[in-house]
Structure 1
Amino acid sequence: MNQHALLHIPDSRYCFAVGKDEIVIRLRMAKDDQVKVFLVYGPKYQFQMQQSEMEMTAHYEDNLYKYYEKRLKLDDVRLAYIFRVEEDGKSLYYSEDGLTESYSFPEAFYNFFQMPYINENDRMETVDWMQGAIFYQIFVDRFFAGDTQKDRSYINMQWGDKPTPKSFAGGDLRGIIEKLDYLENLGISAIYLTPIFLSKSNHKYDIEDYKTIDPMFGNMQDFRELVELAHAKGIRIVLDAVFNHCSMDMKQFRDVMEKGRKSEYYDWFIIDGDYPEPEKCNYECFASCNYMPKLNTANEQVQEFLLDIALYWIREAGIDGWRLDVSDEVSHDFWRRFRREVKALKKDCVIVGENWHDAYSYLMGDQYDSIMNYAFTKACLDYFAHDNFDAKQMAEKLNSNLMRNTAQVNDMMLNLLDSHDTHRFFSEVGKNKKKLLSAIALEIAFPGATCIYYGTEICMEGGYDPDSRRCFDWDQSHWDMDFLREVQSILQWKKKDVIRYGIVRVYAKDDYLYVERRYQKTKFILKLNRENYEVYEEEMKS
């Protein structure tokens, strides 16, 4: 047995509550170990005298490890437990003392693992609607121009031309309103909008006023109408929270530019000197963009300012969630306050971070609900586009990604193939429609919400930003209607309870990747390779 691989951490992704009296326990072991693993458990205050035992299943497997998992319903939510490992007929015990040849139950209170108590306010709850959600991400300027009465003088490109970093096509909120029936028929249940607030850019990630909708896109009346009509169709609306940085034209930064250290807002930013000097960029900013100064989210006044914005749009427009831009560069302390206040106002308001990497420290129940799952994106590129993975390696990578987080987080992950910040997936797979369909099928069957980048359903192409932000082609004579109908059919799977709530198993066999979901008496199996997929659904015996 490879003891170096053995790992269990109480009160973590290896032991967590999924209900008021239900927990998940995981144990990591080396992939090649030929062993049986048993969970030995009992009430915390009776464990020395009374134990139960059950065998654990090696439910997940990556390139290095097996992960054994067991769900337990508890009569007493104060649990003590250790692991018994059988190898070659011999029992070994794994506790806080590590791996030992014997275990003294009379002295167990010194070294058992424990779930001391399941406190309700510590348990992460799942936002139920996220588990079956199909998001549609819209880059607003490029989706559809619906307002024929607005000032169009800012538009500097023909609809359908290749975009540049500074081009404006004229898409707006009324355009989205006009296309809600289209989105409903496609099977969409949530819309994620890139920023809609006052800004000079086409992307609006440099915001001047967070409480004013940019006139290029419309006004508050338009937005309220969008939310109301979307909700009537069962479609949620999630906005983009750009709280890491702002525009250098925001009034607070302009005040600092004018008054320097004498400005009441000087400490809202992180400046090296008496005044911010854009040509020297002597202040923290997003990336190296001097026109997007970084907000000091360790400052309580900044926190109050941003929290007021977050709550304002929930109160005034009834939005259903926030996607958090550059969220891993914002302080943990702020996100903890953000979660408390947002959830107090609207419990099922979803909070999705833009973290491209392992975000476990943000996903422990006190900050985000989930993240944009770019680890899933990368795995799909490696398998479908770059041929870096065979089916077995793809299964191992997906399992490894699942083991980063608790079950609740996995059920709320925002899985995506591409976005406004990446190349178009259709272009990445060489415009192979079979590969795109197979990838969408995987995205739907995998735990979490699905995010479709606008135009994927009509095979929109594009390279890196700004080419990934082309105008939607509304000329239906250009569409592959058979492809569109197949996408619609795949998206319907997400309505199934077995997909929304089912336990997942991912594995490979005979060069095929399998995603198996089980819920109550139903089993759903997706079998796929790079260019084909098949679906099986069956009733399991009791």
Structure 2
Amino acid sequence: MNQYALLHTPDSRYCFATGKKELVIRLRTAKEDRDIRVFLVYGAKYEFQMKQNEIEMHVHYEDGLYQYYEKKLELEDVRLAYIFRIEENGKEYYYSEDGLTETYCFPEAFYNFFQMPYINPNDRLKTVDWMRKAVFYQIFIDRFRQGNLTKDTSYINMQWGDLPTPKSFAGGDIRGIIEKLDYLKELGINAVYLTPIFQSISNHKYDIRDYRKVDPQFGSLSDVKELVQKAHGMGIRIVMDAVFNHCSMEMEEFEDVLKNGKASPYYEWFLIDGDYPDPERMNYECFASCNYMPKLNTANAGVQEFLLKIAAYWIKEADIDGWRLDVSDEVSHDFWRRFRKEVKQLKKDCVIIGENWHDAYPYLMGDQYDSIMNYAFTKACLDYFARGKFDARQMAEKLNGNLMRNTEPVNDMMLNLLDSHDTHRFYTEIGKNKKRLLAAIALLVVFPGAACIYYGTEICMEGGYDPDSRRCFDWEESHWDRTVMQEIKKLLALKQKPVLQYGTVKIKEEEKMLFVERKYKKDRLILRINLTKETRQGIDPDGYQIMEEQGEMA
């Protein structure tokens, strides 16, 4: 047995509560140690020395290096003590805080057992339940649809449908989204993620001048309220984009610092090397290397209060259902902890989704975000469907490894996506292969968490990297592939099945195909994807198959 691969950490992604008296425990072992048996030895914390229960654990996930044993326990006493007993070739080992040993002294177990000292309700990350069945539609507002035909259009500098440039304005607005809510509902959408709506000089609005004002290009506060109200009436949630890492250099507070330097009451709101910020020398911290987007000092109490009031304002004023947090991994942990308390106090089921492109576990421990935009899933899909870097086994291992980064409640709230305004269009990346597009959407729907469709995917929109990924939606229906759209509708509708909201997941390779199984109560759903060059189990190359079983499990 490879003892160096053994890993368990209490009160972490390896031991976490999923209910008031429900606990999940995981143990990592080496992938090559397939002949071992693992048992969880557990009991009430204050009785463990004298009385223990034992139950066998089984492998639930397997990545490129490790196996992950998992067991969900229903507890009577939420103060739990436990260790692991491992059998290999007729020999017995124990794994505790002392590591791997050949014997274990239960009378002195209080020195070295693992423990969940107590499941405190306010420490447990509670799943925002609507996220389990959420099918998001991300809208880059300027390019979706123009609904207000009487507004000032002098800012528009491109014809609808022309290829965009970084400074193109096409005229899309909130009214255009309101007028297409029926279309989104019919598609199977029940949540909309909007890129920023606030006043800004850019088409993307990620350099915000005024966080309380809707940009006139997009509409007004009354338009936002109408959008949310009508969406809610149709069972559609609205999530907005919070750009709290940086702002526009035209924001009033930064302009005051430009004018008054250290004498400005807002000087400490920014991170400046010198008495005055100098855009030419760029002696202040910015988003990336954009001098027009100065970075906010989110460790500053004044900045925190300012941003918390903005977050609260839009929940109170417009009744939005969540915040997507732009560049969230560069913002203070302390601020996000305050942000969570403020938001959840106002609206318990308001979802908080970070934009972290990498392993975000430090932010996903229950005190900051609910989940993140799952770009690790995006990259895996590109490597599997577009680039041929993964075969089915490697894809299964990658997806399992991604799931093991986080706890079950977080995985159930992940915003899984194939592409976004910050990536190449997935359809273009897969060589405009419609069969592969449908197979990827099938995986998106069956995988744990929320599914997110980037606007236009359903009509096979093409595009390269930004700004090409931000093309105008083609509303000429004669250009649409109705067959593909109908298949996408059928796939998105599956997300409303309880088995895909609450079911356990098993991902593996089977006959060189990707196999994903979800089980819940007496129901089972299986997805098979065949990216080989030959038909397998009746599934054509680049095709997929979904099988549903109801009733008693075999």
- Alignment partners' CA distance in 2, 1:268 and 1:98: 47
Question: What is the SS of the residue equivalent to 1:201?
Answer: coil
Superposition pairs of residues 193-212 of structure 1, within 5 angstroms:
193-212=194-213
Alpha-carbon shift at residue 540 of structure 1 (Å): 4.8
Question: What does residue range 53-72 of structure 1 map to in structure 2 within 5 Å?
Answer: 53-72=54-73
After TM superposition, the structure 1 = structure 2 runs for residues 453-464 of structure 1, keeping only pairs within 5 Å, are 453-464=454-465
Letter in 1 for 2:368: Q
> Could you report, residue by residue, the CA deviation over 1:439-497 in whole angstroms, capped at 9, with x for unpaired residues?
00000000000000000000000000000000000000000000000000000100000
* 1:11 is the counterpart of 2:11: yes
- 1:445 is matched with 446
> What amino acid sits opposite 2:212 in the alignment?
K
Q: Hey, what does 1:189 align to over in structure 2? A: 190
Partner of 1:526: 527
- In the other structure, the counterpart of 1:313 is 314
Q: How does 1:31-430 map to 2 (within 5 A)?
A: 31-33=31-33, 34-430=35-431
SS of residue in 2 equivalent to 1:56: strand
- Per-residue Cα deviation, 1:250-279 (whole angstroms, up to 9, x for no partner): 000000000000000000000000000000
**What secondary structure sits across from 2:385 in the alignment?**
helix
Distance in 1, matches of 2:551 and 2:109, equals 40
Q: Report the aligned-residue RMSD.
A: 0.6
List, as ranges, runs of 4+ consecutive aligned residues in structure 1 with deviation greater than 2 Å: 539-542
Structure 2 distance, partners of 1:425, 1:120, is 41
Counterpart-to-counterpart distance in 2, 1:146 and 1:258: 40
CA distance in 2, matches of 1:231, 1:529: 39
TM-score (norm. length: structure 1): 1.00
Question: Which amino acid in 2 is paired with 1:326?
Answer: V
User: C-alpha deviations, 1:29-51, integer Å up to 9, x for none?
Assistant: 00010200000000000001100
Match of 1:480 in 2: 481
1:424 Cα deviation after fit: 0.0
Structure 1 residue 515 displacement after superposition: 1.0
Aligned-partner SS, 1:290: strand
Which amino acid is 1:25 matched to? Answer: I
Q: Structure 2 CA distance, aligned partners of 1:82 and 1:38?
A: 9
Listed as ranges, the gaps of 5+ residues in structure 2 are 532-541
**Pairwise CA distance, 1:514:** 1.0
Correspondence for 2:27: 27
Q: What's the offset of the Cα at 1:538?
A: 1.1
The CA deviation string for residues 490-533 of structure 1, in whole angstroms up to 9 with x for no partner, is: 00100000001111111111111111111111111111123211
Amino acid at match of 2:8: H
Give me the whole-angstrom Cα distance separating, in 2, the residues matched to 1:129 and 1:441: 20
| Partner amino acid, structure 1, of 2:548 | E
Deviations 1:165-187 (A, max 9, x none): 00000000000001000000000
> What's the secondary structure of 1:291's corresponding residue?
strand
Counterpart CA distance in 2 for 1:478 and 1:426 is 16
Q: CA deviation at 1:89?
A: 1.1
Q: Tell me which amino acid in the other structure corresponds to 1:442.
A: L
State how far apart, in whole Å, the 1-side matches of 2:460 and 2:91 are.
58
Long gaps (5+) in structure 1: none
Give the letter for the 2:29 counterpart: M
Superposed CA deviations along residues 120-151 of structure 1, whole A, max 9, x for unmatched, are 00000000000100000000000000001100
Which residue in 2 is equivalent to 1:495? 496
Aligned to 1:292, the other structure's residue is in SS state strand
Rounded to whole Å, the distance in 1 between the matches of 2:344 and 2:410 is: 16
Aligned to 2:507: 506
Distance 1:527 1:55 in 2: 29
Q: Paired residues, what number? A: 542
Q: TM-score, normalised by structure 2?
A: 0.97
Partner residue, 2:539: none
- The AA in structure 2 aligned to 1:4 is Y
Q: Quick one: distance in 2 between partners of 1:354 and 1:315?
A: 23
Greater displacement, 501-510 / 167-176: 501-510
Partner residue, 1:516: 517
Residue 37 of structure 1 aligns to a residue whose secondary structure is: strand
Using the alignment, how far apart are the partners of 1:466 and 1:135 within structure 2? 22
- Letter of the 2:546 partner, please give it: V
For 2:535, the equivalent position in structure 1 comes to: none
- Tell me, in whole angstroms, the C-alpha distance in 2 between the residues paired with 1:501 and 1:168: 42
For 2:399, the aligned partner's letter is: L
| SS in structure 1 at match of 2:211 | strand
Q: Hey, what does 1:539 align to over in structure 2?
A: 550
Q: 2:333 & 2:366 partners in 1: Cα distance? A: 12
SS in 1 for 2:506: strand
| Alpha-carbon distance in structure 2 between the residues aligned to 1:164 and 1:539 | 51
Q: Percent identity?
A: 73
Distance 1:441 1:535 in 2: 8
Moved more, 107-116 or 523-532: 523-532
Is the partner of 1:372 in helix, strand or coil?
Answer: strand
Classify the secondary structure of the residue corresponding to 1:205. coil
Q: Which amino acid aligns with 1:61?
A: E
- TM superposition shift of 1:191: 0.3
